[in-house]
Amino acid sequence: MGRAPTGKPTSFDIAYRAGVSQPTVSRALRGDKSVSEATRLKIEAIARELNYTVDKNASSLRSQRSNTVALLFFEDPTSDESMINPFFLAMLGSITRAAAARGLDLLISFQQMEDNWHTQYQDSHRADGLILLGYGDYTLYEERLRQLDRQGTHFVRWGSARKDNVGATIGSDNFGAGQLAGEHLLAVGCRKIAFLGQADEHYPEFAERHAGLCAALEAAGVRPDPALQANALTGEEEGYSAMRSLIDAGLSFDGVFAASDLIAMGAMRALAEAGRSVPDDVAVVGFDNIPASALTSPPLTTVMQDVRGAGEALIAALTEQIEGKDAQSRTLPATLVERGSTK
Protein backbone atom coordinates (compact mmCIF):
# COMPACT_ATOMS: atom_id res chain seq x y z
CA MET A 1 0.00 0.00 0.00
CA GLY A 2 2.42 2.70 -1.13
CA ARG A 3 5.94 3.43 0.08
CA ALA A 4 7.59 5.01 3.11
CA PRO A 5 7.68 8.84 3.14
CA THR A 6 10.68 10.61 1.65
CA GLY A 7 11.58 14.33 1.36
CA LYS A 8 9.03 16.50 -0.46
CA PRO A 9 5.57 15.02 0.15
CA THR A 10 4.04 13.14 -2.76
CA SER A 11 0.80 11.31 -3.41
CA PHE A 12 2.68 8.08 -2.65
CA ASP A 13 3.47 9.41 0.85
CA ILE A 14 -0.22 10.11 1.41
CA ALA A 15 -1.07 6.62 0.16
CA TYR A 16 1.42 5.13 2.63
CA ARG A 17 -0.05 7.06 5.56
CA ALA A 18 -3.66 6.37 4.55
CA GLY A 19 -3.09 2.69 3.81
CA VAL A 20 -4.52 2.95 0.30
CA SER A 21 -3.16 2.82 -3.24
CA GLN A 22 -1.69 5.87 -4.98
CA PRO A 23 -4.43 5.84 -7.68
CA THR A 24 -7.01 6.03 -4.86
CA VAL A 25 -5.25 9.15 -3.54
CA SER A 26 -5.31 10.69 -7.02
CA ARG A 27 -9.01 9.97 -7.43
CA ALA A 28 -9.84 11.30 -3.96
CA LEU A 29 -7.98 14.58 -4.48
CA ARG A 30 -9.74 15.23 -7.76
CA GLY A 31 -13.14 14.55 -6.17
CA ASP A 32 -13.86 11.26 -7.91
CA LYS A 33 -17.16 9.84 -6.64
CA SER A 34 -15.85 6.27 -6.75
CA VAL A 35 -13.90 7.00 -3.53
CA SER A 36 -15.99 6.82 -0.35
CA GLU A 37 -16.46 10.03 1.64
CA ALA A 38 -14.69 8.59 4.68
CA THR A 39 -11.62 7.67 2.64
CA ARG A 40 -11.63 11.01 0.85
CA LEU A 41 -11.78 12.97 4.11
CA LYS A 42 -8.95 10.89 5.55
CA ILE A 43 -6.77 11.49 2.49
CA GLU A 44 -7.52 15.23 2.46
CA ALA A 45 -6.60 15.50 6.14
CA ILE A 46 -3.25 13.76 5.57
CA ALA A 47 -2.58 15.98 2.55
CA ARG A 48 -3.12 19.11 4.67
CA GLU A 49 -0.94 17.70 7.46
CA LEU A 50 1.91 17.10 5.00
CA ASN A 51 1.38 20.47 3.26
CA TYR A 52 0.87 18.55 0.05
CA THR A 53 -0.16 20.51 -3.04
CA VAL A 54 -1.13 19.07 -6.40
CA ASP A 55 1.56 19.49 -9.06
CA LYS A 56 -0.54 21.18 -11.73
CA ASN A 57 2.04 20.56 -14.46
CA ALA A 58 2.14 16.85 -13.69
CA SER A 59 -1.64 16.78 -13.43
CA SER A 60 -1.90 18.42 -16.82
CA LEU A 61 0.45 15.87 -18.34
CA ARG A 62 -1.59 13.03 -16.87
CA SER A 63 -4.82 14.49 -18.23
CA GLN A 64 -3.55 14.67 -21.80
CA ARG A 65 -5.06 12.22 -24.23
CA SER A 66 -3.14 9.07 -25.00
CA ASN A 67 -4.87 8.68 -28.39
CA THR A 68 -5.36 5.05 -27.38
CA VAL A 69 -8.63 3.25 -26.72
CA ALA A 70 -8.90 -0.11 -24.99
CA LEU A 71 -10.98 -2.93 -26.44
CA LEU A 72 -11.95 -5.36 -23.69
CA PHE A 73 -13.30 -8.79 -24.64
CA PHE A 74 -15.38 -10.69 -22.12
CA GLU A 75 -13.85 -14.16 -21.76
CA ASP A 76 -16.31 -16.61 -23.32
CA PRO A 77 -16.00 -20.43 -23.28
CA THR A 78 -15.33 -21.69 -26.82
CA SER A 79 -14.54 -25.01 -28.48
CA ASP A 80 -11.00 -23.78 -29.18
CA GLU A 81 -8.59 -21.98 -26.84
CA SER A 82 -9.32 -18.45 -28.06
CA MET A 83 -11.95 -17.82 -25.34
CA ILE A 84 -13.46 -15.19 -27.65
CA ASN A 85 -16.88 -15.41 -29.26
CA PRO A 86 -16.19 -15.78 -33.02
CA PHE A 87 -18.68 -13.00 -33.79
CA PHE A 88 -16.50 -10.56 -31.82
CA LEU A 89 -13.44 -11.71 -33.74
CA ALA A 90 -15.27 -10.66 -36.90
CA MET A 91 -16.04 -7.29 -35.31
CA LEU A 92 -12.39 -6.75 -34.34
CA GLY A 93 -11.36 -5.89 -37.89
CA SER A 94 -14.10 -3.29 -38.21
CA ILE A 95 -13.18 -1.64 -34.91
CA THR A 96 -9.49 -1.62 -35.83
CA ARG A 97 -10.19 0.09 -39.17
CA ALA A 98 -12.49 2.66 -37.58
CA ALA A 99 -9.91 3.47 -34.89
CA ALA A 100 -7.12 3.80 -37.44
CA ALA A 101 -9.25 6.18 -39.52
CA ARG A 102 -9.40 8.51 -36.51
CA GLY A 103 -5.71 8.19 -35.69
CA LEU A 104 -6.33 6.06 -32.60
CA ASP A 105 -4.28 3.13 -31.36
CA LEU A 106 -6.14 0.09 -30.09
CA LEU A 107 -5.19 -1.77 -26.92
CA ILE A 108 -6.80 -5.23 -26.71
CA SER A 109 -7.32 -7.19 -23.52
CA PHE A 110 -9.65 -9.61 -21.75
CA GLN A 111 -12.18 -8.65 -19.08
CA GLN A 112 -13.16 -11.19 -16.46
CA MET A 113 -15.91 -10.69 -13.90
CA GLU A 114 -13.52 -11.44 -11.03
CA ASP A 115 -10.94 -8.90 -12.28
CA ASN A 116 -10.87 -5.21 -11.36
CA TRP A 117 -10.94 -4.24 -15.04
CA HIS A 118 -13.47 -1.48 -14.38
CA THR A 119 -10.87 0.73 -12.62
CA GLN A 120 -7.43 -0.30 -13.85
CA TYR A 121 -7.49 1.56 -17.17
CA GLN A 122 -8.68 4.82 -15.63
CA ASP A 123 -6.08 4.64 -12.87
CA SER A 124 -3.18 3.85 -15.18
CA HIS A 125 -4.14 6.36 -17.91
CA ARG A 126 -3.36 3.66 -20.46
CA ALA A 127 -6.39 4.56 -22.57
CA ASP A 128 -8.74 7.48 -23.13
CA GLY A 129 -11.77 5.20 -23.09
CA LEU A 130 -13.05 1.63 -23.20
CA ILE A 131 -14.97 -0.48 -25.72
CA LEU A 132 -16.64 -3.46 -24.04
CA LEU A 133 -17.57 -6.54 -26.07
CA GLY A 134 -19.60 -9.28 -24.39
CA TYR A 135 -20.69 -9.39 -20.78
CA GLY A 136 -22.15 -12.75 -19.72
CA ASP A 137 -25.01 -12.31 -17.26
CA TYR A 138 -26.13 -8.68 -17.60
CA THR A 139 -27.68 -8.56 -14.12
CA LEU A 140 -24.18 -9.12 -12.69
CA TYR A 141 -22.40 -6.92 -15.23
CA GLU A 142 -24.62 -3.87 -14.78
CA GLU A 143 -23.06 -2.82 -11.46
CA ARG A 144 -19.62 -2.69 -13.10
CA LEU A 145 -21.07 -0.37 -15.73
CA ARG A 146 -22.57 1.83 -13.02
CA GLN A 147 -19.18 2.08 -11.34
CA LEU A 148 -17.56 3.10 -14.62
CA ASP A 149 -20.25 5.75 -15.00
CA ARG A 150 -19.81 7.04 -11.42
CA GLN A 151 -16.06 7.47 -11.81
CA GLY A 152 -16.42 9.32 -15.11
CA THR A 153 -14.79 6.72 -17.34
CA HIS A 154 -15.47 7.07 -21.06
CA PHE A 155 -16.91 3.80 -22.29
CA VAL A 156 -19.24 2.31 -24.87
CA ARG A 157 -20.40 -1.28 -25.15
CA TRP A 158 -21.94 -3.62 -27.69
CA GLY A 159 -25.22 -5.04 -26.45
CA SER A 160 -28.91 -4.43 -26.04
CA ALA A 161 -29.55 -0.71 -26.62
CA ARG A 162 -32.43 -0.17 -24.19
CA LYS A 163 -33.69 3.11 -22.73
CA ASP A 164 -32.55 2.14 -19.23
CA ASN A 165 -28.97 1.30 -20.28
CA VAL A 166 -26.01 2.51 -18.25
CA GLY A 167 -23.84 4.52 -20.63
CA ALA A 168 -23.82 4.50 -24.42
CA THR A 169 -24.69 1.19 -26.08
CA ILE A 170 -24.45 0.18 -29.73
CA GLY A 171 -26.32 -2.93 -30.78
CA SER A 172 -28.39 -4.67 -33.40
CA ASP A 173 -32.14 -4.35 -33.70
CA ASN A 174 -32.55 -7.73 -32.02
CA PHE A 175 -36.35 -7.54 -31.90
CA GLY A 176 -36.54 -6.75 -35.62
CA ALA A 177 -34.02 -9.50 -36.33
CA GLY A 178 -36.18 -11.98 -34.43
CA GLN A 179 -39.14 -10.93 -36.54
CA LEU A 180 -37.10 -11.49 -39.71
CA ALA A 181 -36.19 -15.01 -38.62
CA GLY A 182 -39.77 -15.81 -37.64
CA GLU A 183 -41.25 -14.47 -40.87
CA HIS A 184 -38.78 -16.48 -42.90
CA LEU A 185 -39.52 -19.72 -41.05
CA LEU A 186 -43.25 -19.10 -41.50
CA ALA A 187 -42.71 -18.42 -45.22
CA VAL A 188 -41.04 -21.82 -45.71
CA GLY A 189 -44.01 -23.55 -44.08
CA CYS A 190 -43.04 -23.86 -40.41
CA ARG A 191 -45.73 -23.47 -37.76
CA LYS A 192 -44.24 -25.04 -34.62
CA ILE A 193 -41.07 -23.05 -34.12
CA ALA A 194 -38.65 -23.63 -31.26
CA PHE A 195 -36.33 -20.96 -29.84
CA LEU A 196 -32.95 -21.95 -28.41
CA GLY A 197 -31.49 -19.28 -26.13
CA GLN A 198 -31.89 -17.93 -22.61
CA ALA A 199 -34.69 -15.40 -23.06
CA ASP A 200 -34.79 -13.36 -19.85
CA GLU A 201 -33.27 -10.28 -18.16
CA HIS A 202 -29.95 -12.07 -17.70
CA TYR A 203 -29.41 -12.12 -21.49
CA PRO A 204 -31.44 -9.20 -22.91
CA GLU A 205 -30.22 -9.58 -26.51
CA PHE A 206 -31.49 -13.17 -26.62
CA ALA A 207 -34.73 -12.09 -24.94
CA GLU A 208 -35.31 -9.45 -27.63
CA ARG A 209 -34.68 -11.98 -30.41
CA HIS A 210 -37.21 -14.33 -28.80
CA ALA A 211 -39.74 -11.51 -28.43
CA GLY A 212 -39.35 -10.65 -32.13
CA LEU A 213 -39.95 -14.28 -33.09
CA CYS A 214 -43.10 -14.40 -30.95
CA ALA A 215 -44.35 -11.15 -32.51
CA ALA A 216 -43.93 -12.61 -36.01
CA LEU A 217 -45.81 -15.76 -35.02
CA GLU A 218 -48.66 -13.82 -33.41
CA ALA A 219 -48.95 -11.53 -36.45
CA ALA A 220 -49.46 -14.68 -38.56
CA GLY A 221 -52.08 -16.05 -36.18
CA VAL A 222 -49.74 -18.70 -34.74
CA ARG A 223 -49.65 -18.99 -30.98
CA PRO A 224 -46.08 -19.31 -29.60
CA ASP A 225 -45.60 -22.43 -27.48
CA PRO A 226 -43.63 -21.66 -24.26
CA ALA A 227 -42.59 -25.32 -24.09
CA LEU A 228 -40.57 -24.83 -27.28
CA GLN A 229 -38.18 -22.33 -25.68
CA ALA A 230 -35.04 -24.03 -24.35
CA ASN A 231 -32.27 -22.18 -22.52
CA ALA A 232 -28.84 -22.06 -24.15
CA LEU A 233 -25.97 -19.60 -23.97
CA THR A 234 -23.60 -18.96 -26.85
CA GLY A 235 -21.78 -22.28 -27.31
CA GLU A 236 -22.27 -25.26 -29.59
CA GLU A 237 -22.54 -27.73 -26.72
CA GLU A 238 -25.26 -25.56 -25.16
CA GLY A 239 -27.18 -25.69 -28.44
CA TYR A 240 -26.77 -29.45 -28.64
CA SER A 241 -28.09 -29.93 -25.08
CA ALA A 242 -31.03 -27.57 -25.62
CA MET A 243 -32.04 -29.37 -28.82
CA ARG A 244 -31.71 -32.78 -27.15
CA SER A 245 -33.98 -31.61 -24.30
CA LEU A 246 -36.78 -30.82 -26.77
CA ILE A 247 -36.29 -34.05 -28.70
CA ASP A 248 -36.14 -36.19 -25.56
CA ALA A 249 -39.30 -34.51 -24.25
CA GLY A 250 -41.13 -35.74 -27.34
CA LEU A 251 -42.15 -32.23 -28.38
CA SER A 252 -43.27 -31.60 -31.95
CA PHE A 253 -41.59 -28.80 -33.92
CA ASP A 254 -40.76 -28.12 -37.56
CA GLY A 255 -38.58 -25.01 -37.23
CA VAL A 256 -35.79 -23.74 -34.98
CA PHE A 257 -34.52 -20.21 -34.40
CA ALA A 258 -31.25 -20.30 -32.47
CA ALA A 259 -29.98 -17.18 -30.69
CA SER A 260 -26.48 -17.69 -32.13
CA ASP A 261 -24.87 -19.62 -34.96
CA LEU A 262 -22.93 -21.77 -32.51
CA ILE A 263 -26.18 -22.74 -30.78
CA ALA A 264 -27.67 -23.55 -34.20
CA MET A 265 -24.69 -25.75 -35.10
CA GLY A 266 -25.08 -27.73 -31.91
CA ALA A 267 -28.81 -28.07 -32.60
CA MET A 268 -28.16 -29.38 -36.12
CA ARG A 269 -25.81 -32.03 -34.72
CA ALA A 270 -28.49 -33.15 -32.25
CA LEU A 271 -31.11 -33.29 -35.02
CA ALA A 272 -28.80 -35.39 -37.21
CA GLU A 273 -28.21 -37.85 -34.37
CA ALA A 274 -31.98 -38.12 -33.89
CA GLY A 275 -32.44 -38.93 -37.58
CA ARG A 276 -34.18 -35.64 -38.42
CA SER A 277 -33.25 -34.05 -41.71
CA VAL A 278 -32.48 -30.34 -42.06
CA PRO A 279 -34.38 -28.71 -43.70
CA ASP A 280 -36.84 -31.43 -44.79
CA ASP A 281 -37.99 -32.29 -41.25
CA VAL A 282 -36.81 -29.19 -39.38
CA ALA A 283 -35.74 -25.80 -40.79
CA VAL A 284 -33.02 -24.03 -38.81
CA VAL A 285 -32.06 -20.34 -38.58
CA GLY A 286 -29.04 -19.06 -36.66
CA PHE A 287 -27.79 -15.62 -35.69
CA ASP A 288 -24.46 -13.79 -36.30
CA ASN A 289 -23.33 -15.09 -39.73
CA ILE A 290 -19.94 -16.21 -38.42
CA PRO A 291 -17.69 -17.67 -41.18
CA ALA A 292 -18.35 -21.26 -40.08
CA SER A 293 -22.09 -20.83 -40.70
CA ALA A 294 -21.52 -21.18 -44.46
CA LEU A 295 -19.59 -24.43 -43.95
CA THR A 296 -22.17 -26.53 -42.10
CA SER A 297 -24.08 -29.30 -43.86
CA PRO A 298 -26.40 -27.95 -45.06
CA PRO A 299 -25.12 -24.33 -44.94
CA LEU A 300 -26.87 -22.38 -42.20
CA THR A 301 -29.48 -19.72 -42.85
CA THR A 302 -28.67 -16.96 -40.39
CA VAL A 303 -29.23 -13.34 -39.37
CA MET A 304 -26.30 -11.09 -40.24
CA GLN A 305 -25.46 -8.16 -37.98
CA ASP A 306 -23.91 -4.98 -39.41
CA VAL A 307 -20.31 -5.68 -38.40
CA ARG A 308 -18.75 -2.79 -40.34
CA GLY A 309 -21.33 -0.32 -39.08
CA ALA A 310 -20.85 -1.62 -35.55
CA GLY A 311 -17.13 -0.82 -35.48
CA GLU A 312 -17.68 2.67 -36.85
CA ALA A 313 -20.54 3.39 -34.43
CA LEU A 314 -18.60 2.14 -31.39
CA ILE A 315 -15.54 4.27 -32.18
CA ALA A 316 -17.71 7.30 -33.01
CA ALA A 317 -19.63 7.08 -29.73
CA LEU A 318 -16.45 6.70 -27.69
CA THR A 319 -14.74 9.59 -29.49
CA GLU A 320 -17.73 11.84 -28.77
CA GLN A 321 -17.41 11.10 -25.06
CA ILE A 322 -13.66 11.73 -25.04
CA GLU A 323 -14.31 15.11 -26.69
CA GLY A 324 -16.80 16.00 -23.96
CA LYS A 325 -19.98 15.40 -25.94
CA ASP A 326 -22.99 13.25 -25.08
CA ALA A 327 -22.91 9.94 -26.92
CA GLN A 328 -26.23 8.39 -27.84
CA SER A 329 -27.10 4.70 -27.94
CA ARG A 330 -27.90 3.31 -31.39
CA THR A 331 -29.42 0.20 -32.93
CA LEU A 332 -28.28 -1.11 -36.30
CA PRO A 333 -30.46 -3.10 -38.71
CA ALA A 334 -29.84 -6.79 -39.36
CA THR A 335 -30.41 -8.80 -42.53
CA LEU A 336 -31.31 -12.41 -43.27
CA VAL A 337 -28.85 -14.61 -45.18
CA GLU A 338 -30.75 -17.53 -46.75
CA ARG A 339 -28.91 -20.82 -47.14
CA GLY A 340 -29.67 -24.53 -47.31
CA SER A 341 -30.87 -25.09 -43.74
CA THR A 342 -34.24 -23.55 -44.61
CA LYS A 343 -34.56 -24.35 -48.32
Specify whether the CB–CB gap between 153 and 122 falls below 8 A: yes
Residue 38, C-beta contacts closer than 8 angstroms, at least 6 positions apart = none
The mean pLDDT value for 45-53 works out to 88
The mean pLDDT value for 216-241 works out to 96
Q: How many angstroms separate the Cα of 31 from the Cα of each of 17, 144, 163, 250?
A: 19, 20, 29, 61
The mean pLDDT value for 71-100 works out to 80
Residue 163, C-beta contacts closer than 8 angstroms, at least 6 positions apart = none
Question: What pLDDT shows up at residue 137?
Answer: 83
Question: What pLDDT shows up at residue 337?
Answer: 98
Predicted confidence (pLDDT) at residue 267 exceeds the cutoff of 50: yes
Give residue 250's region: left, alpha or beta (phi > 0; psi -120 to 50).
Answer: left
Lowest mean pLDDT among 28-32, 98-102, 151-155: 28-32
Residue 53, C-beta contacts closer than 8 angstroms, at least 6 positions apart = none
Q: Set out the domains of the chain in order of their start, with CATH numbers.
A: 11-63 (1.10.260.40), 68-171+307-330 (3.40.50.2300), 174-305+337-342 (3.40.50.2300)
Predicted confidence (pLDDT) at residue 60 exceeds the cutoff of 70: no
Residue 84, C-beta contacts closer than 8 angstroms, at least 6 positions apart = 73, 75, 76, 78
Where residue 115 falls among pLDDT bands split at 50, 70, 90? low
